[in-house]
Amino acid sequence: MTEEDTGGHKAPPVSSMKMVSKTVSNEQMKQNNENKILTKNRSLSQMKKREELAAYLFLSPYLISALVFTIGLLAFAFYISLNRWNIFTLPKFAGFTNYIKTFKSPDFLRSLLNVFWYSLVVVSFQTAIAILLAVILNKPVPGSSLFRTLFYAPSVTSSVVISMIFWWLYLKTGFLNLAIGKLLGVLHVAWKNIDWLNDPRGLFQLIAGLFGKKIPYSKWYFTGPSITWMAIMFQAIYTTSPTFMIMFLAALQNIPPSLYESASIDGASPWKQFTRITLPLLRPIIMMVVVLGTIGTLQLFDYVKIMTSGGPLGTTLVPVYLIYRETLGTEGPIRAGYGAAMAFILAAIIFIFTYLQRRFIERGTEHYF
């Protein structure tokens, strides 16, 4: 092609045309790849949305029930706590009157003191006994599986059944008094039968009596846990320790034996191995057991309802039983708003106890996870 054919302009070189064509082709391929990626991402996004929708559809029965029977009931209970309501009439708004009345109630304050003693004693002893049983059963001894089953059996038994068994044992003419009388009879010591479930004498009253002093029942905050209350504490320790024993046993089996072997080579005694190796490595489980035990003891109801109904003289009265009594009016008029206010105050107390325990007991446990 000549310059005349192109109007006096030189034609672009063939190599330049090829480069332009190649560039255009690369841009088209890049655009196609981007379109494919966008299409793929859009497809994945749509698939993810469908999966999420399917997941929420499967979860919807639980979510609806949780919304209605948990959040809904909590909101309703809080509303009722701000009203006077006897269930059969319309609620009458009372503001925070029920909460103020609760803090001024001698029965509620006494129930808090009772449950404080119960929680302190039961949690301490059940944790210590659970660790002891777990350490014993962790040893390779013949029949360990049988002993584990026997020790764990009370934990899977109904609390009603356990309560009835102990009710029979605690009778004034029951097996416990009989056994103690026979045992002391061998030592020529007289034994006067105790009415275990109807004896309001407090621990501090008994101690003061040894020194010729008396603490009147009217000063219930100085009497200490009653004999009846301590009998129920023993029952609770007996039935709950095996549950926590299983937790400690599982934790013990995760401790490397090489740690004990190294300690033995270094001359550490079994006690030092227990205090320097076992207990520190069990600290996360101890924290969990203490928290669970505290929550459980603060919500005690069944043993009190079945065995004492809060007696004798209110020495076994606990907040949950008091809430039950006031809400359903089993011993007086129905005061559902008053009972709901007690329930929210108890929930706040449990939350505070749990928070403090986790803050102070859990500190440093992350080293052992």
Query: What 3-state class would DSSP assign to 83?
Result: strand
- Quote the tokens at residue 120: 């302190």
Report how far residue 244's alpha carbon sits from residue 226's, in angstroms, rounded to the nearest whole number. 26
220 and 116 Cβ atoms separated by less than 8 Å: no
Tens digits of residue pLDDT in 44-96: 677 778 888 888 888 888 888 888 888 888 999 999 999 999 989 999 999 99
Amino acid found at 66: A
Tokens of 144: 């360990």
Q: Which residues of 142-170 are buried (b: 16+ CB within 10 A; e: fewer)?
A: eeeeeebeebbebbeeeeeebbeebbebb
Residue 365: the pLDDT is 52
Torsions phi, psi for 201 (to 5 deg): -60, 130
Q: Which contacts of 304-311 are long-range, i.e. CB under 8 A and separated by 24 or more positions?
A: 304/232, 306/159, 306/160, 306/163, 306/164, 306/167, 307/163, 307/166, 307/167, 307/170, 307/197, 307/232, 308/197, 308/228, 308/232, 311/198, 311/200, 311/228
Tell me the C-alpha distance between 244 and 242, whole Å. Answer: 5
Collect all residues with Cβ–Cβ distance below 8 Å to 335 and sequence separation of at least 6.
84, 85, 86, 326, 327, 329
Longest dimension (CA), the chain: 143
**CB within 8 A of 329, min separation 6: which ones?**
86, 335
Element (H, E) at 336: helix 336-361
Residue 314 contacts residue 308 (beta carbons within 8 Å): no
Three-state SS sequence of 307-335: HCCCCCCCCCCCHHHHHHHHHHCCCCCCC
| pLDDT at residue number 6 | 47
Identify which of 120, 118, 233, 111 has the alpha carbon closest to the alpha carbon of residue 166.
233
pLDDT digits (tens, 9 = 90+) for 208-258: 999 999 999 889 889 999 999 999 999 999 999 999 999 999 999 999 989
Q: Domain coordinates of the chain in residue numbers?
A: 19-81, 98-368
Residues paired with 226 in a beta bridge: 202
Write down the pLDDT at residue 145. 77
CB burial of residue 342 (10 Å; 0-12, 13-18, 19+)? buried
Class of domain 98-368: mainly alpha
Report the alpha-carbon distance of residue 232 to residue 169 in Å, rounded: 12
From first to last of the 369 residues of the chain, give the pLDDT tens digit.
444 444 444 555 555 555 545 555 666 666 666 666 666 667 767 777 888 888 888 888 888 888 888 888 899 999 999 999 998 999 999 999 999 999 999 999 999 999 999 999 999 999 999 999 999 888 877 777 787 788 788 888 888 999 999 999 999 988 999 999 999 888 888 889 999 999 999 999 999 999 999 999 889 889 999 999 999 999 999 999 999 999 999 999 999 989 999 999 988 898 999 999 999 999 989 999 999 999 999 999 999 999 999 989 999 999 999 999 999 999 889 999 999 999 999 999 999 988 888 887 666 555 444
pTM: 0.81
Residues of the chain above pLDDT 90, percent: 55
